[in-house]
């Protein structure tokens, strides 16, 4: 791990996120401009806004992430797959999908894996990051969800939607990283507000951060310099 996490390092690991139901076009455009200004890794928006982001980010190095089956994970596999396919056609390079949490809670890991695998297939060439919504799962369920995601071909496992009862924790990141090993990466999302939050999660094993407070986190990093 680096001795000091610079603002550039944090920015290169951060998805600038706007997933609120009341998000407006002007807010989405403003977020894209912030992402370019601060050299953030990506923007993460609801599917409706992918085309708007594609226009605003054209020619920049910032890319687009969108969410599928969000935030409950309870839409059909067909719906998730079509939502992902259309988003990729409009310019999304990564798909953050919510797993079927109800199936996870009943231990039907075949159904969970099949759901993820269908979205992985529909999303190509974009990669898929699976949101397992850790706040609703036991430790064993978190591990099983991570293993199902890896088996289904997901590139990342993620902690949270930000709409559940809790967000990313250092303990969950460590557990998830141990579960996936070098077969997938881990994204921390939900409740990440400060530079200190981001550093703790990155040092615990996260490769990416998803945060609506992306700019505040980068400014916090700058203040450490």
CB neighbour burial string for 15-52, b if at least 16 within 10 angstroms, e if fewer: bbbbbeeebeeeebeebbebbbebebbbbbbbbebbeb
For 6, the token pair is 């610079």
Instruction: Write the CB contacts of 125 (distance below 8 Å, at least 6 apart in sequence).
Output: 88
What is the mean pLDDT of the segment spanning 103-113? 98
What pLDDT is recorded for position 68? 98
What pLDDT is recorded for position 4? 81
Task: Specify the residue for token string 């199936």.
Answer: 103
Output phi, psi for 88, to 5 deg: -65, -40
As its CATH architecture, domain 7-224 has Alpha-Beta Barrel (3.20)
What pLDDT is recorded for position 2? 63
What is the mean pLDDT of the segment spanning 197-201? 97
What pLDDT is recorded for position 1? 61
Torsion, Cα 118 120 121 123, to 10 degrees, reads 120
Check: CB of residue 43 under 8 Å from CB of residue 53.
Answer: yes
The tens digit of pLDDT for each residue in 52-97 reads: 999 999 999 999 999 999 999 999 999 999 999 999 999 999 999 9
By three-state DSSP, how is residue 128 classified? strand
What pLDDT is recorded for position 223? 84
What pLDDT is recorded for position 104? 98
Beta bridge partners of 208: 187
What pLDDT is recorded for position 13? 97
CB neighbour burial string for 115-146, b if at least 16 within 10 angstroms, e if fewer: bbbbbbebbeebbbbbbbbbbbbeeebbbbbb
H-state helical runs in the chain: 7-11, 25-37, 50-57, 77-90, 101-105, 109-123, 139-152, 170-180, 195-204, 214-224
**Burial of 3 (C-beta count, 10 Å sphere; 0-12/13-18/19+):** exposed
């Amino acid at each position: 791990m680096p001795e000091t996490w610079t603002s550039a390092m944090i920015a290169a690991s951060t998805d600038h996120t706007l997933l609120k139901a009341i998000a407006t076009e002007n807010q989405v455009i403003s977020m894209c401009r912030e992402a370019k200004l601060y050299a953030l890794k990506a923007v993460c928006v609801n599917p409706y806004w992918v085309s708007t982001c594609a226009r605003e980010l054209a020619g920049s190095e910032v890319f687009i992430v969108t969410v599928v089956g969000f935030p409950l994970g309870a839409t059909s596999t067909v719906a998730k797959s079509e939502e992902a396919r259309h988003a990729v056609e409009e310019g999304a390079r990564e798909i953050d999908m919510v797993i079927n949490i109800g199936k996870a809670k009943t231990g039907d890991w075949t159904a969970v894996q099949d759901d993820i695998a269908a979205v992985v297939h529909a999303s190509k060439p974009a990669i898929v990051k699976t949101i397992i919504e850790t706040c609703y799962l036991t430790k064993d369920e978190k591990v099983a969800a991570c293993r199902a995601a890896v088996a289904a071909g997901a590139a990342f496992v993620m902690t949270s939607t930000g709409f559940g009862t809790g967000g990313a924790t250092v303990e969950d990141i460590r557990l998830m990283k141990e579960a996936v090993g070098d077969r997938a990466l881990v994204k921390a999302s939900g409740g990440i507000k400060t530079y200190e939050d981001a550093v703790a999660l990155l040092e615990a094993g996260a490769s990416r951060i998803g945060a609506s407070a992306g700019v505040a986190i980068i400014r916090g990093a700058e203040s450490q310099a």
